[in-house]
Amino acid sequence: MQRRDLFAFAALPMLPQGHSSIPNGVVTKSEARLTSQGNIGDSATYYDGRTSHTENLSVGTWRVGPGKSPHGAHSHPEEELLVFTEGSGEISIEEKRYKVAPGSIMYCAGNLLHGVYNTGQTDMLFYFIKWKA
């Protein structure tokens, strides 16, 4: 093996690894996979898988009833955005509380404790986008 071959071999892990499992295109509301329902509310997943630039991308919605939370405060390795489109509530990130309403967007870095709470009188709807590079 020549020295130039060694450098080429060392660069291999930086090259793109195959194709994305999430195809280009559009997923409509009726095509989203219902993943939870019950006395808390409904959740649907639009995308969940690898992309050309992420190890995993997960996109979906939660419709949460008044006085409810989709789950307790939690953490995960993925970074996350929440986009609020209906209702009102609160977000906690590392025990700090933030009020949210339609048009609010939350960003939370990976591995931070965070939660979502519907403190309003109507359903709260938000979109989640999580990714792990």
How much is the pTM?
Answer: 0.81
Specify if 10 maps to a domain: no
Whichever domain contains 127, its CATH number is 2.60.120.10
Number of neighbouring beta carbons within 10 Å of residue 11: 9
Specify if 6 maps to a domain: no
Closest CA to 25 of 51, 53, 54: 51
Specify if 5 maps to a domain: no
> Is-contact 82 117, C-beta < 8 A?
no
pLDDT at 69: 95
pLDDT at 20: 58
Specify if 68 maps to a domain: yes
Number of neighbouring beta carbons within 10 Å of residue 126: 26
> pLDDT band for position 127 (50/70/90)?
very high
Range of the domain at 41: 32-132
Number of structural domains (the chain) is: 1
Specify if 59 maps to a domain: yes
117 is written with which tokens?
A: 């709470």
- According to DSSP, the residues that pair with 86 across neighbouring strands are 125
Identify the residue with better confidence: 3 or 25. Answer: 25
Specify if 87 maps to a domain: yes
> pLDDT band for position 35 (50/70/90)?
confident
> Is-contact 116 126, C-beta < 8 A?
yes
Examine the pLDDT at 12 and tell me if it is beyond 60: no
pLDDT at 38: 81
pLDDT at 61: 97
Examine the pLDDT at 14 and tell me if it is beyond 60: no
pLDDT at 124: 98
Closest CA to 130 of 66, 75, 67, 56: 56
Specify if 22 maps to a domain: no
109-119 pLDDT tens trace:
999 999 999 99
Examine the pLDDT at 3 and tell me if it is beyond 50: no
Specify if 15 maps to a domain: no
Examine the pLDDT at 91 and tell me if it is beyond 50: yes
Amino acid at 64: V
Examine the pLDDT at 13 and tell me if it is beyond 70: no
44 is written with which tokens?
A: 């649907």
